Structure 1
Amino acid sequence: MDANEVVVHCPDDDFNIIVTPEVWENINYSVDTETKAITEEKIGSYTQIPLRLAWSITIHKSQGLTFEKAIIDAGSAFAHGQTYVALSRCKTLEGLVLKSKIHANQIISDDNVSRFNAEAEENAPDEQVLKDSQQEFQLDLIAEIFEFYGFLHSLNRILDVYYKNRTVIEGPIEATFLPIKDCITNFLKVANGFNAQLKQLSVNEGLAEDSAVIQERFRKAIVYFNTETETKILEPLKTFAFTTDNQAVGADITKQLDDFEDLLTIKVLYFKGMVSGFNTTRFLELRAKSVFSGKEKPKKQRKTVINGTSNVELFETLRLLRNDIAEEQDLIHYQIFSQKTLYEMCETLPTTKQELLEVNGMGKRRVGKYGDAILKVIRDYCKAHDIETSPDIEFFEAPKPKPKKGDTKKESLALFESGKTVEEIADIRELNTNTIIGHLASFISSGKVKITDLMSAKHYKELKVIIPEKTFENLSDLKHQLDDKYSYGELRLVLNELSNSQ
């Protein structure tokens, strides 16, 4: 092989094949409007040696693949179906080349398949067996229409999440879903009795499709289940809404609601589609349609504010205040006050610190830290809407000056030197633990705090060795390269020390 030619020698040939480069040109043709002459314009070209790579593959590995051309060697076939797999890889007979002759002993059948075929021929079903199977199949389809057992999982999950997290969930969960659960439980009892009744009737009536008696019972059942579903399940769900501070809890309940409503959509589709009577073909069409109904239907946008207060404007203003304070102080919003506390404030409208202390979730510490800002919002709202407030009580205290950054760090250090842990300091000061670590880390250079006071000595020693060996763009990039046991705070501490020591 060189730049100008490739010599190909096939094992069974007594001659060589010389392959030289070929040029492919891209030409644009145009016709002169006056002379009608055709002119050529060469737009581009490429030169290539016209060889296509070939490769070998075992018959087992080729299963599921399709080839335009294939050279097959099935002379050593050793498993049942292997020769068939080899011969069926090619699209056309013209593209198939046999390297070796295929003998009868290379076409191997599976004894289990042969035995099954023989038994199937010997035990071919007669007309009565087929009729009984058809009858049973139709009864199973009818039972499927009225089957509500799958609804219980989502219902039980919603109620279970609520009972475990009721302090952070606002909304009529029990009032909505306990009656729905009772309705579903009743459906299960009615459906069981109905299915047993149809099975008894079918002994004398035959196929459900052909029986006037069964069809009449079926239509009555459709009307009953559809009416009960509309009034006891669909109607309550139309007005249901909830809210929660906990995103994970909210996502779990929303997912279960979506699953429940998907199942409900399928049932309503069956009830509407089978109102004129049972038909096997029609039901199977509806079942196929139901597979795509949930995917085509956009997910319902659920309310985030429920009708738990008449003072919706105040609710939104206090919610925004909470978010602003949380962002400013590096806290999670429900650490300022919970959703239940928010609703209670909107209903009771406290305008003094004494009244605010009576609100669930507002202790002395919270009232001391956030009370002035909360009360100002409520007072302004009451004034704007001509709502009478508690008179002659001092409403605001003079705002206390915000501590300087140096002061707040010294406050954390003083608590640390008094023997408090980082977690205890964070709880006392109502700050994030990472914020407290940041405060204390600023005193490492002065020797007042040691780095091993803020992280385990073992992690410190490991990270001092590991980090210099890594190449990373930022802290997040480094974190993803290391074991999950190292926290962001620990990485930041060691990085700062390594940077200061350089």
Structure 2
Amino acid sequence: MNDEIPILRSLAILLSFYLFPPSNYYLYFNSDFMTAKSILPETEMIASAVQFINSTASHIFLTGKAGTGKTTFLKNLAKRTHKSFVVVAPTGIAALNAGGVTIHSQFLFPFGMFVPDRSITHDIHQAGNYYTSDMLARKHPLNSARKQVLRSIDLLVIDEVSMLRADLLDAIDYRLKAARGNFRQPFGGVQLLLIGDLYQLPPVVKQEDEEQLKKYYNSAWFFDALALRQSDWVYIELDKIFRQTDDAFIRLLNNLRNNQVTLEDIAVLNEYHKSPAEIQNMREVITLTTHNYKADELNRNALQELKTPLHVLAAEVDGDFPESMFPVLARLELKEGAQIMFTKNDNDGKAYFNGKLATVTSIQDDEIEVSMAETHQPYTLKKEVWENKRYTINPTSQELDDEVVGTFEQYPIKLAWAITVHKSQGLTFDKAIIDVRQAFADGQVYVALSRLRSLEGLILRTRIDANVISTNQQVVSFSQQYHQPETLVARMQTKQLQFIEELISKTFEFDTLIKEIAYIKKTNDVSAAFEEDSMKPVLEQIHESLNAEIQNTQKFRKQLTELLQSNNKDQLLSRLKKGSEYYNHFLYSIVKLLVEHIELVKTRKRVKGYLTDITDLDQLIGKKREQVDKAQYLTQNILEGNHEFDFSHLAKEREKERYRLLEEIRTKVGLRLMKEQKESRGRKAKKNKKDEPSTYDITLTMLESGMTIETIAKERGLAPGTIEGHLAKAVSANRISILKFMSEQDVGTITHALKEMPEGFTSKDLFTKLGGKFGYGMLRAVMNHTGIQSTRQREESL
């Protein structure tokens, strides 16, 4: 009976809060008691979203009216979650703004519509630009790098999800399942965070795709995706509006949003209509209009009216940065007196923000001075750099990383006498001229008006007609059906317990690893790939070790689940701690064996496919160790009511351990290779003394094994400069890529300096110009790589 008291007390508290929820409290659960912590009402939904992300596996649709902080939430997410995640968006600009990548580039989708029907056997391309899961697997397979990224994540964030079509979300579902080898769970077991406002940007459906889409989906909206229908997910709406404070304006915007606009609302809006004569003399105010051609025409005419000289400022584009992602014009036309708008926030301070207006006062030799709107504060513009990134897995630390593949450098401004309503999304204005007489899309009037802080800043160029105000009824119905904030508290406890059960089940099983090894063995003839007997059984040894643990893991999972269900928290955490220590030690022994095998395979020829497969296996085992690391801490924090936890110390420990292991193994492999070469030279000496490897051949072999220049020098008893000289010679002979031992950044720095060197320069001149940062061997390597030679090199080549 005593055991039932905590449970009854919990149910009583839950019922009282469920029936009479106080507005300024939010509940944090554990398995056998509850605590209520007071938080500010305006952060309640944000706290709820963070808790669902960190302590459940539920998919989340995070929405909110304009100005409720969705963008800020995304920007702060990395600081608030322990989960590994990537950010994707439907378009290049949306991805750039979100700090992520496009959906198509991350998942390697072809353009066209995804058909969720595997029974189609004929070539569907004959009927249009369509593709199926089978076609993705056969004609558009994921490369290893992208597969590794998708295997490493716990959370997939999709921003501007209102633009995401249902079929594309189902294609994402298939890709995640295939990449992770998990077809049992929607999205391969990855949690989704879908961010956006359905009342703003709608999905685009081409006319030729409409009929095909209707065969499989109730609508094009993401919420009708088949995979999402099979999933557990929650609807969280950020309800505190930060942009507007005027209750009457907020009520009017809500009526527009919910298709409940009244004649009184229309009359209130039209009170702000101004005549062309009144508008003509207005300064420091922007026009929001419905069509691109209207905005372009207003800007072009206003620029032409200025009698000052025209200046054209070109952007600098480096690397992979497609035109579709250009955040501002690559060819910016400006005149003194032009009205401009900043297109991003000031990174260095608070001089400007995205949407801030200013007037150009001076243009001198690419130096632009502006006067800020309202304050008239002078400011000298600086160019900004936008980065195009791709997600990668660091080969050494096995951690998810992002790599800059291209940059775009330009002044962060655009002409801003006018912009379209579409491009105004996310911006805030104190004052704006609005022209929505020709509104053509659902929600367009709402988006335009919601850019303003208050009605006092509204200037209507044309009167608003009730006929142009519309909101998609499917969106309204969906929101009304799923927006149930009063149920979030009750669902949280259930989902947290489910999450811990799934965590235990997922962490302490090796089925995925065993299947991966079986696949590698099936697709690679390891017995024929290597002459050395010692290299053939490694995969089999790992396979046997994992198989031997199957029964132990089954018993351990059963034990933990029973302890969880019986609310025996202390014993559960104690068993988790001991089990985690055991399995970490067990997996580390496998990692050591596999990493040494990988380093040896790297030195062999004709094993590229096999090397890719075992590198993927190494990543999977690393992910498994990360799960084991976190299981104990996650369970403890959730049961104790904490919903934000920091695992950075675990990642740092693993990274240090990985670096130590690689250094130890690469040294070991390098010594083994030296011994093999010595024995090989001894055997061949009698037959042909000319075949004896040179000193620089030995250096190359050791580098190929993964050893660093410093380690090679130490093992061979030579100076690092000597080793660098060997490598410079190898570059000249096209025997090795310079990027094997130098970073792209260092090569770029030296190349840039080389191009600035005068005719007849010497290596010493270059060394001095670079401040002695690089040794002569490195300088010669880059000169050999670029073909730009010093005087001495040219003389030696003659």
TM-score (norm 1): 0.43
Highest Rg: 1 or 2?
1
The structure in which a higher percent of residues are strand is 2
- Name the structure, 1 or 2, with higher relative contact order (CA <8 Å, separation 6+): 2
TM-score (norm 2): 0.29
